[in-house]
Structure 1
Amino acid sequence: MVYEPSEEKRLILSNIEEFAKRKIEPISKKVDEEDHIPEELYMEMKDHGLMSLLIPEVYGGLGLDTITYSKVLEIMGRYSGGIALSLEAHNSLGLNHVFLFGNDEMRRMVIDYTLKNARPVAWALTEQTSGTDAKNMNTTYKKDGGKYIINGSKIFITHGVSARYIVIMAKGERGISAFLLDGESPGLERNKLHGKMGVRGSDTAEIILRDVEVPEENIIGNEGEGFRQAMKILEGGRIAIAAIALGLAQASLDYSIDYAKQRKAFGNTISQFEGIQFYLADIATNIQASRLLIEHAAELYDRGLPARKEISMAKYFASQVAMDASRMAIQIHGGYGYFRDFGIERYLRDSKLMEIGEGTNEVQKMIIAKELLK
């Protein structure tokens, strides 16, 4: 299969590429250094449809299919891993959970708020003692008349401080359920975590819940459906993480090619040396393989076909390629690649999260093996 976007989607991707080049590239270094994405950029991204990429047009979104959505995140990954991750966490996880499993009233409330205020929706699953092992979470809920009472804590939550709405998973008598939580609820404490290695920009937080009351109409779906919902959301999220990794790898390759054509040593540009050429050939081949894995997984996902194995393959492989490509880029740039001013080392720091987020690569290999051995 060769991805051939329609003329409408081609125009969308072209406009987003132009926006990223004009608005994101000039501030990407500052976003990384200050670990902050300006609020005005979120407003501009909202105006370009980037805050509602998967939401159907009838609700005011772009209504992209998963393949085209992955192309958007690949573009963003080339210019800023931090901003790309912010968009992924909002579109793939928080907002998408509400849209796929919430009722129509909930959907419209959250989508309308997002389109008006350009504030991301957070998604809270991970805890200090249960990341991949989500069924063993300690955050609990209980029904109390016309409301639910939630107690517990979550960790490493993207937009956990800035979000007005948070999708949160908690365990009760009927299993794990998902709730839409107002970020201004009494009893909710949100603490920003500092010192991220990479993908800097969006806030990452610890969330503590002490007898937080949630109206019964804010349960997403039915009681006990939260785990199944979360696993579905994570499948789409893994495709998105793979796409960001692909963008990071492509940027590393592009910078390396440009530098190798200019840098001279021993009377020749280093692009003439076989060792450098082999670096570039290996990474370019693996980038193309990543792209095809992502497109195949996205197509299966959009068609509603079984895709767990293919999604995990795409995420596992693309994230490894991003790490390899960024290491190669630093090696080719030599001492310049090691210093922040040149901007190359950021791709290595950003790429590392791609091997961790939305399920570590070890988990992806477990999924692949399980599917193979069925």
Structure 2
Amino acid sequence: MIDYRLDEEYEDLRATVRDFATSEVAPVIGEFYEREEFPYEIVRRMGEMGLFGLPFPEAYGGMGGDYFALCLTLEELARVDSSVAITLEAGVSLGAMPLYRFGTEEQKQRWLPELCAGRALGAFGLTEPGGGSDASATRTTATLDGGEWVINGSKSFITNSGTDITSIITATAVTGQKPDGRKEISAIIVPSGTPGLTVQPKYSKVGWNASDTHGLTFDDCRVPEENLLGERGRGYAQFLSILDEGRVAIAALSVGLAQGCVDECLRYVAEREAFGHKIGEYQAIQFKIADMEMRTHTARLAYYQAAAKMLRGERFKKEAAIAKLAASNAAMDNARDATQIFGGYGFMNEYPVGRFYRDAKILEVGEGTSEVQRMLIARELGVTN
């Protein structure tokens, strides 16, 4: 029997996060967004609630939950604001998860407890200025010298890399050459404040304005040899697996934004009048909202399925790509339609749909563009090698 009802534990978590999002995030986040200011107090509260530790064992300060719990949390946060949601998503799935999946016991004990508590944030240094979607085109290098890795290069668009509470940045770097001539790419943990690591000025962004995003420069940056994360030469493969999981999380975040658009439109059309009638009485508006709900519903089912396969330990690469593609499309389409329904008010930053519109586009780009998702789906179907 197929049953899509959530367990009581999941429903309780959803309700708790929903209440937090509406009562503590929604009233203030617009001001942070317009000031392009990182919301430290909101992040602190999320840490106290255990949200940063959701999918990690209690032995490392986590909540002993699973990845689906994280996805539900991201959906509920993004119904109100995506800057807060992406801070959590990147902090958990990109910052802490590589450490948990591939770190030594000593590395986990050293860094995971603070990351799980939300008192510290980790960042994922993969993308480079000339690389973009081609993550294998890594140019950053790391060479061993006297028991230390000496890192040189740069990274772009790195979330949570420049906050006051950022503790580590895990960076991919070329550490040699494989027998077949390909680059040997490894992952190395670089603590914040390490000499030679420079956090570039924050980007001026279209959206996600209350989240933290910087470029990074490594100039003879030295860290101990034991800061290697996982096996030498397996850094690229490790991060590809992390990205598969992250795509499910981004799909959940995208569904939250899409649902937030529906929520705001339902409130608005019940109040706004035009030509003597509530605009919700007009079929053109009804059809737009029906389409928005349809997109949200189907995208949610897609990420539910991907998460279920992941938790069962089954291969889920295709399902993750489908979920990310469907959900990011739904978010972008719903944001556009919501802005249209709000008319001129939708173009004003005082209304959430204006913020949703600005935030939606990056969901079709980050953690693998829509084109990359189509490539992955086709490859999994056997269309291409």
* Residues 1:298 and 2:307 are matched in the alignment: yes
- The superposition leaves residues 66-121 of structure 1 with CA deviations (integer Å, 9 ceiling, x where unpaired) of 22221110001011110101111110111011011001111111122335661211
Alignment identity in percent?
37
Instruction: Work out the CA distance in 2 between the residues paired with 1:220 and 1:194.
Output: 28
* Residues 1:164 and 2:173 are matched in the alignment: no
Tell me the equivalent position of 1:280: 289
Alignment match of 1:240 (pick from 234, 242, 249): 249
Tell me the equivalent position of 1:270: 279
Tell me the equivalent position of 2:223: 214
The residue type paired with residue 151 of structure 1 is N
Task: State how many pairs are aligned.
Answer: 374
The residue type paired with residue 48 of structure 1 is M
Instruction: Work out the CA distance in 2 between the residues paired with 1:35 and 1:3.
Output: 39
Q: Give TM-score scaled by structure 2 length.
A: 0.94
Structure 1, 11-20 or 351-360: larger mean CA deviation: 11-20
Pairing 1:38-77 to 2, within 5 Å after superposition: 38-77=39-78
Instruction: Work out the CA distance in 2 between the residues paired with 1:14 and 1:185.
Output: 41
Instruction: Work out the CA distance in 2 between the residues paired with 1:251 and 1:116.
Output: 27
Structure 1, 108-117 or 236-245: larger mean CA deviation: 108-117
2:98/2:242 contact within 8 Å kept: yes
Alignment match of 2:347 (pick from 321, 338, 363): 338
Instruction: Work out the CA distance in 1 between the residues paired with 2:334 and 2:172.
Output: 36
Tell me the equivalent position of 1:104: 105
In the superposition, relative to structure 1, how do residues 117 and 282 fare at CA in structure 2: closer, same or farther (>3 Å)? closer
Query: Which residues of structure 2 form unaligned runs of 5+?
Result: 178-183
Q: Give TM-score scaled by structure 1 length.
A: 0.96
Tell me the equivalent position of 1:357: 366
* Residues 1:81 and 2:82 are matched in the alignment: yes
Tell me the equivalent position of 2:203: 194
3-state SS, counterpart of residue 41 of structure 1: helix
Tell me the equivalent position of 1:317: 326
3-state SS, counterpart of residue 344 of structure 1: helix
Instruction: Work out the CA distance in 2 between the residues paired with 1:268 and 1:26.
Output: 30
Instruction: Work out the CA distance in 2 between the residues paired with 1:111 and 1:352.
Output: 32
Instruction: Work out the CA distance in 1 between the residues paired with 2:30 and 2:94.
Output: 26
Q: In angstroms, what is the RMSD of aligned CA positions?
A: 1.4
3-state SS, counterpart of residue 341 of structure 1: coil
1:199/1:350 contact within 8 Å kept: yes
Pairing 1:107-256 to 2, within 5 Å after superposition: 107-115=108-116, 118-162=119-163, 163-174=166-177, 175-256=184-265
Instruction: Work out the CA distance in 1 between the residues paired with 2:117 and 2:85.
Output: 21
Instruction: Work out the CA distance in 2 between the residues paired with 1:101 and 1:191.
Output: 28
Shift of 1:62: 1.9
The residue type paired with residue 143 of structure 1 is L
Shift of 1:36: 1.7
Shift of 1:192: 2.5
Instruction: Work out the CA distance in 1 between the residues paired with 2:97 and 2:118.
Output: 17
Tell me the equivalent position of 2:94: 93
Instruction: Work out the CA distance in 2 between the residues paired with 1:37 and 1:2.
Output: 40
Instruction: Work out the CA distance in 1 between the residues paired with 2:120 and 2:4.
Output: 32
2:46/2:118 contact within 8 Å kept: no
Shift of 1:306: 1.4
2:74/2:249 contact within 8 Å kept: yes
2:54/2:67 contact within 8 Å kept: no
Shift of 1:214: 1.4
- The superposition leaves residues 111-169 of structure 1 with CA deviations (integer Å, 9 ceiling, x where unpaired) of 22335661211110000011221111110111123111111000111111121211111
